[in-house]
Amino acid sequence: MTNAVVTGGAGFIGSHVVAYLVDQGWDVTVVDNLATGDAARVHPKATLTQASITDASAMGPLLQNAEYVFHLAALPRIQPSFDDPVGHEEVNVVGTIRCLEAVKGSSRLKKFVLASSSACYGNPDEVPTSESATISCLSPYALQKYAAEQYTLILGERFDIPVVSLRYFNVYGPGSFNPKNPFNAYSSVVGVFHEKMKAGRPLTITGDGSQERDFVHVDDVARANYMAATKAAAGSVYNVGSGITVSINELAHYFGGPVEHIPERQGEALVTHANVSKITTELGWKPEISMAEGIVSLSN
């Protein structure tokens, strides 16, 4: 049976990746320190090991015999990274290096798939944005995810580690808002809107709501991880988005009800819009879940 380790597999995106791999018949181990993850999210057929990716002594034994490693563990919020850049650097960059060191020299590893971010593009001149667009980080988080990606590509080439990086755009879907997560106020806007709608509270829009986002459903992202692991060439970087933009004002209309505006946040892009032609051409992946379908899925 194919075996895989998913770091951050008790988190929002990671738990969906775990479920997808289990459905493919894989034997999956989740590594998560549960700082922001939730053990209840982990698929019952997966094995949960509570450990930190920054702990070199723990990561070596956990990753050394894996055939596939999906590295999703991170502190994934832009605004908190301003408040604690050192702590976020330790997890998002040093933690990634620890994982790469743990698989160095492995004779079993077939692919190391990194969760990177479209945040590294900042406010791009090229829209839709391709993987070759200029990098322009606007926040510590964006810089950390790009640094983690570069470490992955550089160390991957140097130590013959078959690595692939996926630059996620705005991922949403069931479970994106976790009330137990200390950073839940900075969750995906789709998840925040859904929670406020259920509670009968106004939807909070930062700034004037004209910001445009490329929202991609978490199930499509999970499938992209699987295809990257099983099909992509080592050293590849791919955007993972829908290729369609929706303004925050338009998103609010999907949910309906009253809205209130709050000040815009520092370090957030005005537009995210993925050019997904590379991953479509090379891996045959394309998004399958529409925004309307995805919002319905939030209540399932």
DSSP state of 151: H
Residues with Cβ within 8 Å of residue 232, at least 6 apart in sequence = 111, 164, 238, 282, 283
Q: What ranges in the chain are assigned the alpha helix state H?
A: 12-23, 56-63, 78-83, 85-89, 95-103, 140-158, 189-199, 218-231, 248-255, 277-283, 291-297
- Report d(CA 188, CA 287) in Å as an integer: 18
- Report d(CA 110, CA 231) in Å as an integer: 11
The letter for the amino acid at 262 is I
To the nearest 10°, report the CA torsion of 106, 96, 279, 254. 140
Q: What pairs with residue 49 in β-bridges?
A: 31
Q: Closest by alpha carbon to 90, among 103, 78, 101, 81?
A: 81
Catalytic residue check, 141: yes
Q: Pick the catalytic residue from 121, 141, 146, 168.
A: 141
Q: Measuring CA to CA, how many Å separate 155 from each of 68, 71, 100, 115?
A: 17, 15, 7, 16
Q: Which residues are catalytic?
A: 141
